[in-house]
Chain A
């Protein structure tokens, strides 16, 4: 009898693990999820509400895929894990036994005990059910005359954009003094502030939510601002103040948890044959300056790829490469490679270039002593992942990176290119004489 691998969670991490285990072995695989029958891309939820896609378009695999690859799907909510007998107990009453268990239950939206946070019309934006909720309470600007979004992160700005696409007026409460400035340096953060306001969003920086007021039907009527006491009437409140691991049902099992499920570098928990990956996994300590919990798509996928090896007999550590990420803030695309902290560290120097239109910029971080390139933020200009991964692997200097910046450009053909201006500015500010090289396919594919 082949070993039975049970995966709780059909998100990117669980599904990636399942796909790779299938490639490597003939083990019996079951994926359990309470949310949807089939894997869908959470990152695309916004596009369904905005009418760019239908929900079915967010499903990366056709429905026959699972059967063909002998990956069993089970819909159900796991309410308890009994590690001694290796049994899952479902809210629906049935049970399932496993030989190896992978916990990939993702995140849930944070709630901070605000008064009124459980009213009708108050919602996070994480699960498919949140989307359905939004469709009920904010189908258009007649039903929802104003929405308040609380929390200035990536999901908050997406929710603001979603509501805006249906012409619903949005007030956006951001605790920080500038959007996402815990992650973005001041200049980039300012660009996004401008972009938010240019789209007619009522952006309130340094503003906290105090409470949510109910009408007579247990439905949102307004919110009260902490700082000013101002009452803002609204029909929908989006709570997007971050996410945390979705592991309440594990808390009273033998599996050790902190904020997330505690794992070692092999993604193993304290209990043999139980693993955790994706948003819900918490490393003992951050790897290579990463955070112990990394709630992003890519890391979920990488953990899935890695754990499949371990499960199939090639026990290896989770060892992610250079950090990268991307997002889109309304119409401004953002990519980042390596590290560009909000505040430079002692040994770091920065180079910043911004286009006159105020919608494009790059920000480079490098070691001011060794000149080693550390990372780049790019807004409104697409750049090649492979290029920067290589620069970081080879520990190239900032001068080398700039000299070859034309190789990095990934914008569509015929787009205006700015490398020349960028290098010019760098030379001027740093008294260097870097000559931009012409793009070379040989180098790009070397």
Chain B
């Protein structure tokens, strides 16, 4: 068994190694015809860009992606610098007409994104030409390796039951060296994905055939991400199934997040795209889906006929009615740990790290400021955007629509949700984003705290203050502090993962939906003591 595990680990590392190494392979260049075709599709007005790009990309040299990217970015920069200089010159001459004319020649867009678009067309080499083989060497090996590593747990963990043995002895799960390596890997991954997609263009080649099969077009970096996301979740769900095989709540919940990720977040949007419809994730509710009310999305949906309109209505109803009503009946868990994609990853890939959430009172204070701050931020942003959209203004309340959208996308959309949200798993736990950053979670939390039938019932006086529940609460809730007072746990942040209940050795905690009266029950004296004393103290 242990040999199998070692073998699995080795295969996994080889797979990841090839995957990572593939970034550095391939040659990037264009023929003149290809460049012309690209330029034709772009319609740039700049008179320099053609020559600059030609110098940069039409070459016999063997450029790797980094050299290629740097040349392309330089080409755009040279062109833009040229017009910037003209602008400055006319500005100094107070020649406003001339100055104004120059802006049309500038090329907007993030340098790495511009470079990605060309790179996607410019690559050649082993990876691109052997995508099938490469798929097996990367995804294939990693999946097989990971499964070989995970499945022996069926025997090695011992009989079904909570087996958190050694979690705090292992470097991987106790913030040791391995955890830090994973941390750095994940952070770099997200930085590349969000900010330097051209560097990972080779990965898209590996998935081109699958993408073409699903939606008719070649893979983008987001397709890679989506596919990877589903793969990781499936593999880590196998781990969950084994670890919690005695716990039906966990099994069903894991199946649910898996289903919603694969079908709703991945397949349906891809298929919609292939049918020439707007690709939409029907479960992704605003304000987590923060660009739902952005102009481009509204325009897009309005121009796509009945389905576009349906999506518009559905998205609005989802947030305004379905979400709060479901939270009333079931708690926010129905979304956060049964449906949501971020939650899905947290509950599968993130499960080994759940114990790292900070349980201190200070962390709780920070959480409330941050998460409600982000909610406010997203609402203000949407308000400004919608006002500007319908009025045609550029700003509202002195806030520029474009500016606030860009800022939010960068700070919250990319850094918080991605780089920090997932990259920080191995060190700060698996729900950093959900706890501190997600505006939807903040909204659901408010409903859960003040108007819901959901609670975690504390079983009378049975708690022995052991601390398992608090340790394994991914949301950093000090569950014990309630349980040891005989008090139900009613917290805005609770995502209802059910792990506190699973790890409690005394059967103290039960997630349940019931009448609102008696849901919140602060106690001083616990059940089991003198009845008169309980009356005296608890009913003052």
Contact = CB atoms under 8 A, between A and B. Distances in A.
Interface of A: 12, 20, 23, 41, 43-44, 47, 50-54, 57-60, 62, 165-166, 198-199, 297-298, 301-302, 305-306, 309, 314, 316-322, 324, 326-328, 330-331, 333, 335, 382-386, 389, 393, 410-416, 441-442, 444-445
B501 interface: yes
A445 B507 CA distance: 19
Contacts, number: 175
A18 to B, nearest CB: 14
A306 B530 CA distance: 8
A326 B507 contact: yes
Given A306-B533, A412-B502, A322 B465 contact: no
A331 B160 contact: yes
Interface stretch (B90-98, B120-128, B193-201, B455-463): B455-463
Contacts of A199: 158-159
Contacts of B510: 382, 410-412
Contacts of A383: 507
B85 interface: no
Given A165-B165, A413-B249, A41 B514 contact: no
Given A319-B530, A321-B530, A444-B514, A62 B465 contact: no
B365 interface: no
Given A41-B465, A41-B467, A166-B165, 17 more contacts: A44-B464, A44-B466, A47-B468, A51-B167, A51-B170, A52-B167, A53-B467, A165-B166, A302-B526, A322-B528, A324-B460, A326-B506, A330-B159, A382-B459, A385-B462, A386-B459, A412-B511
B529 A305 contact: yes
B511 A413 contact: yes
Contact of B529 (A41, A57, A302, A331): A302
Contact of A47 (B247, B466, B515): B466
Interface in B480-533: 480-481, 484, 498, 501-503, 505-507, 510-512, 514-515, 517-518, 524-533
A382 B510 CA distance: 9
Given A199-B159, A298-B528, A328-B505, A51 B467 contact: no
Contacts of B169: 51
B526 A301 contact: yes
B392 to A, nearest CB: 51
A412 B498 contact: yes
B505 A53 contact: no
A43 B464 contact: yes
Contacts of B507: 326, 333, 335, 382-383, 410
Contact of A52 (B471, B515, B525, B530): B471
Closest 4 CB pairs of A and B: A385-B460, A331-B161, A382-B507, A44-B466
Given A60-B465, A333-B506, A414-B248, A386 B527 contact: yes
B529 A306 contact: yes
A43 B466 contact: yes
A321 B471 contact: no
B511 to A, nearest CB: 7
Nearest to A45: B466
Given A326-B506, A445-B518, A51 B533 contact: no
A322 to B, nearest CB: 7
A43 B506 CA distance: 11
A412 B465 contact: no
A322 B166 CA distance: 38
Interface string B448-480: 000000000101111011111011000000001
A412 B249 contact: yes
B165 A50 contact: yes
A309 B533 contact: yes
Interface size class of B (residues with CB under 8 A): 35 or more
A384 to B, nearest CB: 6
A328 B467 CA distance: 15
A52 B501 CA distance: 15
**Which of A322, A410, A442 has the most chain B CB atoms closer than 10 A to its own CB?**
A410
B252 interface: yes
A25 to B, nearest CB: 14
A335 B498 CA distance: 20
A412 to B, nearest CB: 5
Interface string B158-180: 11111011111110000000000
Contacts of B470: 57
B360 interface: yes
A58 B530 CA distance: 28
Given A333-B507, A415-B249, A44 B468 contact: yes
A324 B512 contact: no
Nearest to A305: B525
A144 to B, nearest CB: 15
Nearest to B486: A385
A321 B531 contact: yes
B515 A445 contact: yes
A385 B416 CA distance: 43
A389 B459 CA distance: 11
Contacts of A44: 464-468
Interface in B217-243: none
B361 interface: yes
Contacts of B506: 326-328, 333, 335
Contact of B530 (A297, A316, A416): A316
B459 A384 contact: yes
A52 B527 contact: no
Given A51-B167, A335-B507, A385 B468 contact: no
A410 B165 CA distance: 26
Contact of A53 (B162, B464, B468, B525): B468
